[in-house]
Structure 1
Amino acid sequence: MSRGRETVYDTIRMRIVSGEVQPGGHLAEAQISEELGVSRSPVRAALHRLAEEGLVRLEAHRGAFASAYTRADIEEVFELRRMLEGRAASLAALNRTSDHVARSEVLVQEMGKIVDAHSDSRRQELHDNNRGFHELILSAANSPRLFQIVKTLTQTSVTPGTFFYYSEEDLTRSLRFHTDIHQAIADRRSETAEELMSLHLRYARDLFVDKHFA
């Protein structure tokens, strides 16, 4: 995909995961094309790509809409992630290399700097670092099938963008979880790493449900 098309894709995706476009919201191809100053072709391509990822729903003769989700959808995805990523954290503690630990430490430190900056404009950066942290753990687990299954789950419309709804207190607690998970894996404490990851994702699930279904 060309750089221009990638930018269009990133812009639309950001609008969805940040909540700017609400679940069920219409994504008008012509309007987006005009706003971004591009032809309708890259917009159409981006919408189809997002539909493949589960973020967009395409309806014949009606157009594209941000995917809606139910409380049951959210709870199911987070529960699956909790079980699978808990297992991944346990395996990572057993199989990780010094390089995994070093890269994990950098990501945690970067997340700490962003949280301390109290800058809403850096939420996307925090989201990207968080994704990198979780993917690094999956890589360290050395289980390609597990990696692919979890990656499919995290690409659904339910889980991306969680940080955009966090308060400062929520961000601080999330950072603490990441720090503790990193340390447990570095120390090869597999049971602790699994327990912490499970608690982390349960907390994230509860926050997400509270924000959307309070």
Structure 2
Amino acid sequence: MTPTTPLEASGARTATAQVHEAIKQRILDGAYRPLEFVREAAVARELEVSRTPVREALRELVSEGWLEAIPHQGARVAEWTEKDAREVFELRLVLEPMAVGLACRHIDADTLAHLDDLASRMEALTESPLDGAGHSELASLNHEFHRLLIQASDNQRLAQILESVVRTSIIRRNFASYDRSALKRSMQHHREMLIAIGAGNAAWAENVMRAHLLAARVLHVTVDTSTATSSPP
């Protein structure tokens, strides 16, 4: 048996990555619905690839939480529950303010300029009523904005934890629930965070991020009023 060369291995990895991204995008766009099975043979046929990279991509998506493996049946799209959303926001309320506070000390001018551009593009999108494509674009820009802020913390372990916590799906699937006032408030939070970071004021940036997440949580999670007073200020 001829051993696999590094080039061949690289090609297989590229195919798996492409299939991985294609399936994930279909989940985000709603082409694959919660609890729907993603069939290996069907994906291979649609993407015109062999079943090997599809099998590897499905395995990775299961490990990342996008899919769940059902014994003797296959992999299906994971369903986000109220409990899932609540747990995500509990973690984000602790970790993302920490990340933005660290970013105040470590961010560079190029990253800050990129964040400013993303904020401007989101603001321009929200000037007009959004359709499905608009919601999808806004969610993509929003995810990139938060991802860059987290990376700017210069704390690799914190970034890795948040990457596993902040699921693009919950952001993208729920942006349609924002009314005009909620969208405007969210955009104002983004802008104020950048001003605080530019000023190097970690406490200010952390508090804006916390307010930003608390406002988002109201739209995504039914808040238990009996414990609301114990929420972060």
TM range (shorter): 0.7 to 0.9
Paired residues of 1:123 and 1:163 also in contact (CA < 8 A): no
* Partner of residue 162, structure 2: 150
For residues 132 and 69 of structure 1, do their structure 2 counterparts lie closer, same or farther at Cα, with a shift above 3 Å needed?
closer
Deviation sequence 1:24-75 (CA, Å, 0-9, x none):
2221223333333443333222211211211001123100111123312211
Counterpart of 2:172 in structure 1 is 161
Query: Aligned residue for 1:85?
Result: 96
Q: Secondary structure, in 3 states, of the residue corresponding to 1:58?
A: strand
Amino acid of the structure 2 residue aligned with 1:17: L
Q: Which structure is richer in relative contact order (CA contacts within 8 A, separation 6 or more)? A: 1
Q: Does 1:21 align with 2:49?
A: no
2:45 equivalent among 34, 39, 42: 34
Q: Please name the residue that 1:134 is paired with.
A: 146
Report what 2:201 is aligned to.
189
Q: 1:96 to 1:83 in 2, by over 3 A?
A: same
* Aligned residue in 2 for 1:12: 23
Query: Is residue 126–residue 163 contact of structure 1 (8 Å, CA) maintained in 2?
Result: no
Q: What is the aligned residue count?
A: 208
Q: In structure 2, give the amino acid aligned to 1:147.
A: A
The residue aligned with 1:199 is 211
Between 78-87 and 104-113, report the one with greater CA deviation.
104-113
Q: Provide the residue aligned with 2:54 in structure 1.
A: 43
Partner letter of residue 32 of structure 1? Answer: V
Counterpart of 2:56 in 1: which secondary structure?
helix
SS at match of 1:161: helix
Residue 61 in structure 1 maps to residue 72 in structure 2:
yes
Structure 1, unaligned stretches of length 5 or more? Answer: none
Percent of residue pairs bearing the same amino acid type = 34
Give the Å deviation of 1:191: 1.7
**Structure 1 pair 156–113 and aligned structure 2 pair: CA distance change class (3 A):** closer
**RMSD over equivalenced CA pairs, Å:** 2.6
User: How far did 1:162 drift?
Assistant: 4.2
Q: Quickly say closer, same or farther: Cα 1:76–1:144, change in 2 above 3 A.
A: same
Structure 2 distance, partners of 1:108, 1:146, is 23
Q: TM-score, normalised by structure 1?
A: 0.82
Alpha-carbon contact 1:115-1:171 (below 8 Å) kept? yes
Change in 2 beyond 3 A, CA 1:128/1:22: same
**Alignment partners' CA distance in 2, 1:200 and 1:45:** 37
Give 5+ residue unaligned stretches, structure 2: 1-12, 223-233
TM-score by length of 2: 0.76
The offset of 1:160, in angstroms, is 5.1
Cα distance in 1, alignment partners of residues 36 and 207 from structure 2: 37
**Does the CA contact (< 8 Å) of 1:18 and 1:164 recur in 2?**
no
In structure 1, how many angstroms separate the alpha carbons of the residues matched to 2:21 and 2:80? 21
Residues 59-110 of structure 1, C-alpha deviations (whole Å, 9 max, x = no match)? 2310011112331221111111111101111222244333332222122122
Secondary structure at 1:141 match in 2: coil
Q: Say which one has the larger Rg.
A: 2
